[in-house]
């Protein structure tokens, strides 16, 4: 840099703590972000939904030294309460959240969107894919007394 200040490689996120939500497998965008954050020194916690995703997320999270791997159903308040209580217990405060949570009924992804999308399924997809970010942001903000960053992608 022109001013002579440089950050050592691998330390851009040193001392930063954050939550990664929505890793599905090693090809998911959330995993790409998480692995780069870890490579830059960030301490990470991950969430997963159900045993099937836990089997895929746990080895990835462990490979980057995750501080917590937490079950979380973003459509269930009790599950969210428990997940954020565990996150607070693990880190106290956090600096960032990566929200990469999305859902749509598989049978409605086939054929014509107009013909196959029901109101109930659309509202379920919006609750999980969109409103969950609002809920996560509200809960995360309480763990960010000095501010922080939150991103969402689907």
Averaged pLDDT of the chain: 92
Quick one: what percent of the chain has pLDDT higher than 70?
Answer: 94
Per-residue three-class SS string for the chain: CCCCCCCCCCCCCCCCEEEEECCCCCCCHHHHHHHHHHHCCCEEEEEECHHHHHHHHHHHHHHCCCCEEEECCCCCHHHHHHHHHHHHHHHCCCCEEEECCCCCCHHHCCCCHHHHCCHHHHHHHHHHHHHHHHHHHHHHHCCCCCCCEEEECC
Burial of 151 (0-12, 13-18, 19+ CB in 10 A): exposed
The answer on pLDDT for 4 being more than 70 is: no
Residues 6 or more apart whose Cβ sits within 8 Å of residue 68: 45, 46, 86, 87, 90, 91
The answer on pLDDT for 114 being more than 90 is: no
Confidence (pLDDT) at 6: 62
> What whole-number distance in Å separates Cα of residue 145 and Cα of residue 56?
32
Mean pLDDT of 67-76: 97
Residues 6 or more apart whose Cβ sits within 8 Å of residue 134: none
Confidence (pLDDT) at 154: 67
Contact 84, 8 (CB under 8 A): no
What band does 106 get if pLDDT is binned at 50, 70 and 90?
confident
Mean pLDDT of 46-71: 97
Contact 91, 17 (CB under 8 A): yes
Confidence (pLDDT) at 1: 43
Mean pLDDT of 6-15: 79
């Amino acid at each position: 840099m022109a001013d002579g200040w440089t950050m050592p490689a691998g330390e851009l996120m040193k001392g930063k703590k954050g939550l990664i939500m929505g890793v599905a497998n090693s090809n998911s965008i959330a995993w790409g972000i998480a692995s780069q954050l870890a490579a830059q020194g960030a301490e990470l916690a991950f969430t997963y939904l159900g045993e099937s995703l836990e089997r895929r997320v746990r080895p990835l999270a462990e490979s980057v030294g995750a501080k917590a791997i937490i079950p979380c159903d973003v459509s269930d308040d009790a599950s969210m309460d428990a997940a954020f209580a565990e996150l607070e217990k693990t880190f106290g405060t956090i600096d960032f959240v990566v929200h990469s949570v999305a859902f749509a009924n598989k049978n409605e992804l086939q054929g014509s969107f107009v013909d196959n999308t029901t109101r109930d399924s659309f509202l379920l997809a919006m609750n999980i894919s969109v409103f969950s970010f609002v809920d996560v942001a509200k809960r995360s903000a309480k763990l960010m007394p000095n501010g922080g960053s939150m991103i969402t992608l689907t």
